[in-house]
Amino acid sequence: MEKSEKGNKNRIFVVLALVFCVFAGFCVVLVKLQIAEGREYASTSASVSSKSVTIKPSRGEILDRNGNALVSNKQVNSIIFEAALFPPLKQQEERNKIISSLIRLFEASGVEWNDKLPIVLDQNGKPVFAEKRELDVKYLKSKDMLNLNDYATAENCLDALVEKYALQSYTTQEARKIASVCYELRHIGFSISTPYTFADDVPTDLVAKIKENSSFYKGVSVEIVTSREFTDGTIAPHILGMVGAIDAEEYAEKKDEGYGINDTIGKSGIESAMEKYLRGAPGKKLVSTDAMGKVTTTVTQEPQQGNSVVLTIDKNLQVATQKALESGLKSIDTQVKPAGAALVIDVNNFEILACATYPSYNAATYRQDYGELAKDENAPLWNRALLSTYEPGSTIKPSVAIAALEEGVITKNTTIHCNGKYKYLDSYYKCEQRHSTRNLNVVLAIDESCNTFFYECGRLLGYAKINEYRSMLGLAQKTGVELQESIGVMDSPEHRESVGSVWWAGYNIQTAIGQGNLFTPIQLGVYCATIANGGTRYRAHFVKTVKTNNTYETVLENKPEVLCNTGVSKSTMDIIHEGMLRVSSSGGYLYRAFKDLGIKVASKTGTSQVVRTENGHSRKINNAFIISFAPYENPEIAVIVCGEGVTTAVNLGPIARDIYKAYLQGEGSYAKLQSENKLLG
């Protein structure tokens, strides 16, 4: 009996011990959860969802060679949709009301919103696909969007959008606009981590109206972002270029580099060419939503502004070159609407100090003006300096003289008789110049632009040898600039065959006076600069250095890069220089233009005839050119001027003169500023 009672007491003790251990264990866990890890669990329970969102960086500035800002940034208001607060897909009609109201509000205020639907309404109100939007149209029809056949029309697509987004109660025009926003929400994968930008650069008064009605505009908020700002939108717009929303093709190419579907990217000019330096590094923020729907944002990684790109362009010289080109062309009685180009190149390193195209445009108002600019038959958006190709006329003759002297087919003292006609095989070719003597040496032939002399050089050399020297001098060759440029045409039997034409015997001598060849103004600049410095062809460039935004450390420096040592002898170049000096000296074609500059200028003029078709009618016009360099004794710059529809190159003389004046007035500032301004490095 005693043993039984004692056994019972032991069992009770064991049970109580086990209960105590379990209770103690619970206490330990409770303390750990409530105290040691309380904050973490509280945060987890409070936050229903957390998403990482990219913060767009500010782009780097674009500066001139002296550190003057050409393109910088300004803070603007963007209207964005935040997925955490915007009506969900199941509330499509509420979404439509908000979107429709915003569109009406913006259009009533004359403010643009981001309309990216690749469907537009034509003048009859019929849906058609927008031009050059093939990839976007493909996405629109894809399984991810409308799941339509490839042959679906724009009208089929719009009908499908109306049905998909419950837009039957709206007019066709209204439905298309609302569908544009809905399409883009789907396209970008609208979510907490990917907000949608409805509009950029929104005026504060419009922002205020949206904020006043925040209870209606659920999920519509204002975000302060940076936008590109031009110091003066008329300065070098063809060179600086533009930025814009990334398109489908660009996104497909760049997404692996961290670009988002709603990012901004350089579209043209330096903005595009130097994109990887200007873009900067995106930041990150954590957007959390708690059980009560409250949204909190925490920046986890600050964005880094892009690098500063320092150009070779001199702002003041660029402005002076543009003004000289515009006023000069307008003062000439041209055969067509005034148009042309002008360049200034440092002959010792091929830095481009100024590059102007006329007509031009204002980059600051580009978007507002685009419709008119695109329709303008005189093509103000076209970069004539880098993309237009022209027959160079007599400006090509120094290259032929160089080839003839170097190959030994003539010497400085060789004379060729000119009576106004030159017979080659069974044909006669004209020389319409009035000469001081009928027997001309190479110096006089350059000065007086004698066709006969160069016909004979062409016969003696042959087209292949002429083209060999022209290539060395940079004609019909890529100059190496960072921007898009045309290659041009070096005339030859191979070229004629490639375009379905025939190489006639007479072309052997006609190529010697420039006919059949097509070169860009910048190629003429490189060619002239190579002659000026004695025969070294460098890579031409617009970018001087790239600097970090805050510390001004050098990321990239474009040092002189030799593309070709022509090997042309000093004696040959001296002869060419002498002939070109005579063009600008007493009795020369450009003497009046340059006589009061205070420095000697070497130059060569040229005109070429071209057939231009306008409004269905064809007519012959002249294009005129000047290539030049100065100071003659120690060349620093080459100045090139091109004018369309200009009957004689003499008329371009005042343009070149004014450019030289501007350079001389600013001379000395380069070295001083380079030593003082750490941006130039």
pLDDT, tens digit, 9 for 90 and up, residues 100-112: 999 999 999 999 9
Q: With a cut of 90, say whether residue 30 has pLDDT above it.
A: no
Domain 391-542+563-627, second-level architecture: 3-Layer(aba) Sandwich (3.40)
**CA 459, 463, 464, 469 torsion: positive or negative?**
positive
Quick one: pLDDT band at residue 20, thresholds 50, 70, 90? low
Give one DSSP letter per residue of 602-662, joined into a string. EEEEEEEEEEEEETTEEEEEEEEEEEEEE-SSS--EEEEEEEET-S-GGGGHHHHHHHHHH
Q: Within a 13 Å sphere around the CA of 612, how many CA atoms are in the beta-carbon half?
A: 16
- 411 or 49, higher pLDDT: 411
Mean pLDDT, residues 566-582: 98
Report pLDDT digits (tens) over 182-199: 999 999 999 888 899 999
* Whole-number pLDDT of residue 321: 98
Alpha carbons 310 and 293: distance in angstroms, whole number: 48
Evaluate if residue 667 carries a pLDDT over 60.
no
Give me the residue spans of the domains in the chain. Answer: 391-542+563-627
Average pLDDT over residues 127-133: 92
Q: Please check the confidence at residue 464 and state whether its pLDDT lies above 50.
A: yes
Q: Residue 679 pLDDT more than 50?
A: no
| Residue 517: pLDDT band with limits 50, 70, 90 | very high
Asked if the model's pLDDT at residue 54 lies above 80, the reply is: no
Cα separation, 598 vs 577, in Å, equals: 18
Token pair, residue 481, equals 């600039």
pLDDT tens, position by position, 161-179: 999 999 999 999 999 999 9
Q: 268 phi and psi, to 5 degrees?
A: -155, 170
The pair of structure tokens assigned to 679 is 């941006």
- Reported as a single tens digit per residue, the pLDDT across 585-623 is 999 999 999 999 999 999 999 999 988 877 777 889 999
Given a contact cutoff of 8 angstroms between Cβ atoms, the answer to whether 157 and 127 are in contact is: yes
Q: Collect all residues with Cβ–Cβ distance below 8 Å to 460 and sequence separation of at least 6.
A: 404, 409, 410
Picking from 605, 602, 596, 589, the residue whose alpha carbon sits closest to that of residue 661 is 596
Query: CA-based angle 73:76:82, to the nearest 5?
Result: 125
Query: Residue 579: which of 407, 454, 360, 401 has the closest Cα?
Result: 401
- Contact between residue 283 and residue 303 where contact means Cβ atoms under 8 Å apart: yes
Q: Note the helical H segments in 256-314.
A: 269-273, 275-278
Structure-block tokens of residue 629: 């360099």
Tell me what pLDDT residue 7 has.
55
pLDDT value, residue 520: 98
- Taking the C-alpha atoms of residue 414 and residue 442, their distance in angstroms, rounded to an integer, is 7
User: For a pLDDT cut of 70, what percent of the chain falls above it?
Assistant: 90
Only one residue has tokens 């004609």, namely: 475
Range 266-271 average pLDDT: 96
Half-sphere exposure of 217 (CA within 13 A, CB side): 22
Q: Which residue has the higher pLDDT, 24 or 124?
A: 124
Q: What integer is the mean pLDDT of 532-552? A: 94
Long-range contacts of 153-161 (CB under 8 A, 24+ apart): 153/127, 154/119, 154/127, 154/128, 154/129, 155/126, 155/127, 157/119, 157/127, 158/119, 158/127
pLDDT category at 13 given cuts 50, 70, 90 is low
Q: What is the pLDDT of residue 28?
A: 53
What's the pLDDT band for 432 if we cut at 50, 70, 90?
confident
| Structure token pair of residue 580 | 């070109």
Kindly list the distances between the CA atom of residue 653 and the CA atoms of 519, 532, 589, 658, in Å, as whole numbers in the listed order: 21, 19, 9, 9
pLDDT in tens, 470-500: 999 999 999 999 999 999 999 999 999 999 9
Helix (H, G, I), strand (E, B) or coil at 561: coil
The rounded distance, in Å, linking the Cα atoms of 187 and 138 is 12
pLDDT at 291: 67
Average pLDDT over residues 467-471: 98
Q: What is the pLDDT of residues 639-660, one digit of tens each?
A: 999 999 999 999 999 999 999 9
> Which among 133, 164, 130 is positioned nearest to 146, based on CA atoms?
164
Minimal CA–CA distance to 304: which of 71, 529, 548?
548
Report how far residue 129's alpha carbon sits from residue 153's, in angstroms, rounded to the nearest whole number: 8
- The helix (run of H) or strand (run of E) holding residue 22 is helix 2-31
Residue matched to tokens 């100059």 = 479
Point out the least confidently predicted range of 320-334, 372-386, 547-561. 547-561
Average pLDDT over residues 127-138: 92
22: pLDDT strictly greater than 60: no
Q: Tell me if residue 177 falls in helix, strand or coil.
A: helix
d(C-alpha 107, C-alpha 208), whole Å: 16
In degrees, rounded to 5, the angle at the alpha carbon of residue 239 between the alpha carbons of residues 477 and 65 is: 100
Per the CB < 8 A criterion, the answer to whether 119 and 128 are in contact is yes
Return the structure tokens found at 571: 């004696």
Peptide bond into 631 cis (omega under 30): yes
Q: Which helix (H) or strand (E) holds 47?
A: strand 47-55
Residue 41 has pLDDT above 60, yes or no: no
From residue 71, how far is each of 32, 311, 678 by CA, in Å?
57, 11, 19
Q: What is the pLDDT of residue 197?
A: 93
CA atoms within 13 A on the CB side of 592: 7
d(CA 172, CA 174): 6
Tell me the pLDDT of the chain averaged across its residues. 90
Tell me the C-alpha distance between 555 and 424, whole Å. 58
For the cut 90, the answer to whether the pLDDT of residue 342 exceeds it is yes
Return the CA Rg of the chain: 35
- Let me know: does 243 contact 72? Beta carbons within 8 Å: no
